[in-house]
Chain A
Amino acid sequence: MIEDKLVDHLFRHQYGKMVAILTRIFGLSNLETIEDAVQDTFIVAMHKWRNILPENPEAWLTLAAKNRAIDLLRKIKAEQTRIGKIESGTISISFNELFLDHEIEDSQLRMIFTACHPSLHPKEQIAFALKTISGFNTKEIASALLLKEETIKKRLTRARKLVSQKNISFEIPKHGDLLRRLDRVLEVIYLTFNEGFHSNGKQLLIRKDLCGEAIRLIKIVLSKKDLRIGKVYALFALMCFHASRLDSRIGSAGEILDLKNQDRSKWYFPLIRIGNDAMIKAVEDGSFTSYHYEAAIAGEHIKAKTFDDTDWEKMLLWYENLDTLQPSPLGLLNKSIVLIQLNRLDAAKDILNTIESKDLEQRAYLYYATLSEYCKENKNIKDAIENLDIAISMVANKTEKAYLEQKKKNL
């Protein structure tokens, strides 16, 4: 059967690999030609494979990319010597070697660093990464990021233009640059994951793919020895913990299930185990980043057998650490939620008083939902309903609205 031979997302992942290898050969200035060429090989594969799949589809596609590269080289009349050797820093490696697994990984890592180059705007970085590394097309990026196709098209055009005009070299940065640029890479991966994780509704499937992609990207980062440091593992752990709960967040009728109501037996344990391992490595070098604390918080939820078993004291400690390191209104809001769970209502209220709901931007409704929760615990049902109404009037997402309305009914 086809499922046995074609792994999930084979074409999408192969797209990223092939584009990366070919870019290493032809340079970023030829990116558009390269992407068209890869698309062509896929269409050929599609016709060829309709009746009989090749024994090893992945190898078939890689070979196709190689042949395509040779064609292109001939076409642009590159000197014969260039086919033999590609300059790669101080070491030149042979054309054939570029198609070996570890060199493909290296090429993809170069593409990740290119996508996260500081001359690109953060919004362009995500779109560019999803296109060139993850093989999403404009339509898919638009639906994953809940934006118009037109917007994505513009961002991609601008990003491609910058990448080719600024003469960005297709390399992994060295020494001090490497770690500085790594921060941006982690941020882009983190944002990509969050786009997928904190979303509900119609585009659920594609957004789940976003989470999967973010995890795949960080695995590529971890393939390089120099980059196996605490914060990378911490982000990896964070994403594993979150991703293990993806399927349990939506009920059978498409409704949101909060942590209280999720079926914890549906959490995906293999991912939790990988997350735990990553967490051990994350703390080895003794430095702590916001990823560490966010992973600790996610891990704390995972550890609890039931919602009531949650160690809220520990949770509070993690949130306090996080807030010290990276103060944010959302962090404060989360802290107040934990305090409500601990029944320290006055302390919760003190924090809520310091938050300006507008600072939370599109998440301002969460503020009112929390305020409502506080009123409820204080047995002030009237105010609880009032605040919930404000929250309902502010929330844009239908599924989340339904969730809040259900809450109101329960009051």
Chain B
Amino acid sequence: MKEFMMIFVGAPYDDLSPQEIQERLGKWFAWHGKMEAAGIIKSSEALQPKVKRISGEDRVVADGPFVESKEVVGGFYVIRAESVEKVIEIAQDFPEYDIGGSVEIREVMTFDQ
């Protein structure tokens, strides 16, 4: 079994109405429930849009976000799956494609001896 990270990008919520927020929440809940029932979730977090970026020899601290809201990483899941194809299947239910959100899948590196 391999591990994969699903990274959610984009989909600002500003224009959603209260009703749409509730409907969207329902979809998230259903998706999470499905993964949980399958016992594949290792971890999951949602992220604030504010960014601090430290860079350079001088460790300069800058305040973000540095990208447009449709490119901001909003959260992630780490799940266990047999293959990337399986993860693509799971990601079909990600609830935010309709408002411009996207999912990036990255396999977690394992270091076998």
Contacts and interface: CB of A to CB of B under 8 A. Distances in A.
Interface of A: 2-3, 6, 9-12, 14-15, 39, 42-43, 45-51, 53, 135-137, 139-140, 209
A9 B19 CA distance: 6
Contact of B29 (A15, A50, A135): A50
What range describes how many residues of B lie at the interface?
20 to 34
A12 B13 contact: no
A3 B33 CA distance: 13
Nearest to B19: A12
28 contacts: A2-B26, A2-B29, A2-B30, A3-B26, A6-B22, A6-B25, A6-B26, A9-B22, A11-B18, A11-B21, A11-B22, A14-B18, A39-B18, A46-B24, A46-B25, A49-B25, A49-B29, A50-B32, A50-B46, A51-B44, A53-B29, A135-B17, A136-B19, A137-B15, A137-B16, A137-B17, A137-B20, A140-B17
B28 A136 contact: no
Contacts of A136: 17, 19
The 9 A-B residue pairs with the shortest CB-CB distance in the complex, in nearest-first order: A137-B17, A11-B18, A11-B22, A50-B28, A47-B46, A15-B18, A135-B18, A12-B18, A2-B29
B30 to A, nearest CB: 7
Given A2-B29, A11-B19, A42-B18, 8 more contacts: A6-B26, A14-B18, A43-B16, A50-B32, A51-B32, A53-B29, A135-B18, A140-B17
A42 B46 contact: no
Contacts of A15: 18
Contacts of A39: 14, 18
A297 to B, nearest CB: 33
Contacts, number: 64
A140 B19 contact: yes
A279 B46 CA distance: 52
Contacts of A42: 18, 21
Nearest to B44: A51
B25 A50 contact: yes
Given A50-B28, A50-B29, A50-B32, A10 B13 contact: no
A14 B17 CA distance: 12
Contacts of A2: 25-26, 29-30
Contacts of B17: 12, 135-137, 139-140
A345 B26 CA distance: 56
Contacts of B18: 11-12, 14-15, 39, 42, 135, 137
A136 B18 CA distance: 7
A150 B32 CA distance: 37
A49 to B, nearest CB: 6
A320 B25 CA distance: 51
Contacts of A47: 46, 75
Contacts of A6: 22, 25-26
A10 B46 contact: no
B47 to A, nearest CB: 9
B22 A43 contact: no
Nearest to A18: B18
Nearest to B95: A50
A48 B18 CA distance: 15
Interface in B23-55: 24-26, 28-30, 32, 44, 46
